[in-house]
Amino acid sequence: MCLAIPGRLVGICGDGDLRVGEVDFGGVSRDANLAFVPEAAVGDYVLVHVGFAIAVIDEAVARETLEALTMFEVLTDEETQNRGQVQVSENLYLSRVSRGGVG
């Protein structure tokens, strides 16, 4: 029930409580009420729940969170080492899978 899907705002019409946006969900478009995200602008990603956008996704924060977890950036020496550790962990993981269980 609390399912909310991220989509990109591609158009806006109306204002106030009747401000409605066209939101693109990876190729499928639906309208969403924008009353709760007055700051939303075309091009933003919004989180849509039962026909209402309830948040604008903060791209900068999303990037920071992901970078902290995935280390996708250009690799410095230290990061290359980290990447190596990821590789090691991956091998460990796979060896555990091949033994028939993870964890």
* Cα–Cα dist 95/20, whole Å: 52
Q: Which is nearer to other proteins, 12 or 36 (CB)?
A: 36
The CA-to-CA distance between both ends of the chain, in Å, stands at 31
Which residues make up the interface to other proteins (CB under 8 A)? 1-4, 6, 17, 26, 33, 35-38, 45, 47, 49-52, 54-59, 61-63, 65-66, 69-70, 85-86, 89-90, 92-93, 102-103
d(CA 26, CA 29): 8
> Least separation, in Å, of the C-beta of 80 and other proteins?
15
Least distance to other proteins, CB of residue 11, Å: 18
**Structure-derived torsion over alpha carbons of residues 101, 65, 59, 17, reported in degrees to the nearest 10:** 80
Whole-number minimum distance, CB 84 to other proteins, in Å? 12
